[in-house]
């Protein structure tokens, strides 16, 4: 009896200690920004190369699946012929992939040329393993100049911002996540609103008054307010507007411009230090002409 009591006592103490730790952790937790701990830095740097390797071998894996594993039971002759065809197709596919990648990267680079930011191109190597968060992991980190809160884009539009960063990897909170709120503008009417992630890879546009002349098909761009995203980046398109019988605002559904299903490469924008340095030089030109020494 005494033994049972002792054991129960230990269990209660352990439960209490871990419970208090968990509650403290929850109270400190932020879903919009995160400091990287030593533990996180170390384990991420060890594990993420495996993720990167697997992400890179995606094409080979799906090719192997489609072209080899599914034809195991065909005749030998067929196998030889199909292997030849597969090898040729593989070569062709590799060339086609290189061509497509080239096109994508060219588009990405020319798109971001217009912005006064340094650019770091990165590859998506993983997604958040929890259901409720829409976060992607990139194969570039502090060593490549990436900083927390840096905006992330593609040639199609806004992806999100850097949530946490280690030496060689960065996690990006995408606009699909409910914790990411983007200040946007409807391109046609210049009306401001907030885009939030909802469900099914869709977003919601909030705080648009009922009397605003918004229409299905209207395009959304970043408003440049809030200091994270540059102004004018494509965010998405309005696909559904619901006017409820109550409330002052509209319920608006938005499809992001970026196809997150096919997201492979992204650009991380880092505010250019050169642009910041040259800014003070412009100040004297604002001095009234009457105060200028002639």
Binding site for other proteins (CB under 8 A): 7, 10-11, 14-15, 17-19, 21-26, 28-29, 31, 34, 39-40, 43-44, 47, 50-51, 54-55, 58, 61-62, 125-133, 135, 137, 163-164, 171, 173, 178-179, 198-201, 260-261
In whole angstroms, how close is the CB of 199 to other proteins at the nearest point? 5
In whole angstroms, how close is the CB of 69 to other proteins at the nearest point? 13
Would you say 130 or 277 has its CB closer to other proteins? 130
In whole angstroms, how close is the CB of 230 to other proteins at the nearest point? 24
Would you say 246 or 289 has its CB closer to other proteins? 246
Would you say 62 or 84 has its CB closer to other proteins? 62
Pairing mode, if any, of strands 265-271 and 219-222? unpaired
In whole angstroms, how close is the CB of 84 to other proteins at the nearest point? 27
Partners of residue 209 on adjacent β-strands = 249
Would you say 47 or 225 has its CB closer to other proteins? 47
In whole angstroms, how close is the CB of 141 to other proteins at the nearest point? 14
Burial of 219 per CB tally in 10 Å (0-12, 13-18, 19+) = middle
Q: Which of 272, 189, 249, 255 is nearest to 223 (CA)?
A: 189
Would you say 34 or 79 has its CB closer to other proteins? 34
Would you say 14 or 102 has its CB closer to other proteins? 14
In whole angstroms, how close is the CB of 258 to other proteins at the nearest point? 13
């Amino acid at each position: 009896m005494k033994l049972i009591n002792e054991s129960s006592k230990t269990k209660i103490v352990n439960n209490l200690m871990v419970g208090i730790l968990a509650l403290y952790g929850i109270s400190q937790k932020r879903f919009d920004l995160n400091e990287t701990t030593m533990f996180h830095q170390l384990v991420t740097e060890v594990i993420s190369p495996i993720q990167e390797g697997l992400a890179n071998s995606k094409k080979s894996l799906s090719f192997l699946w489609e072209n080899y594993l599914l034809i195991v039971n065909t005749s030998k002759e067929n196998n030889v012929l199909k292997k030849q065809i597969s090898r040729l197709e593989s070569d062709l596919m590799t060339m086609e992939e290189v061509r497509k990648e080239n096109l994508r990267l060219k588009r990405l680079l020319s798109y971001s040329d217009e912005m006064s930011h340094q650019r770091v191109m990165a590859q998506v190597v993983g997604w958040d393993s929890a259901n409720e968060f829409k976060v992607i992991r990139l194969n570039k980190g502090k060593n490549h100049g990436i900083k927390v809160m840096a905006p992330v884009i593609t040639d199609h539009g806004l992806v999100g911002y850097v949530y946490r960063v280690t030496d060689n990897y960065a996690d990006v909170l995408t606009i699909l996540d409910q914790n990411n709120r983007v200040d946007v503008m409807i391109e046609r009417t210049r009306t401001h609103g907030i885009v939030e992630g909802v469900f099914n890879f869709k977003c919601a546009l909030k705080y648009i008054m009922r009397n605003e002349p918004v229409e299905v098909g209207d395009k959304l761009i970043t408003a440049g307010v809030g200091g994270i995203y540059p102004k004018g980046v494509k965010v998405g398109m309005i696909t559904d507007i619901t006017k409820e019988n109550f409330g002052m605002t509209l319920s608006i559904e938005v499809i992001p411009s970026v196809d997150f299903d096919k997201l492979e490469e992204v650009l991380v924008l880092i505010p250019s230090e050169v642009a910041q340095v040259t800014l003070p030089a412009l100040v004297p030109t604002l001095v009234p002409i009457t105060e200028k020494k002639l």
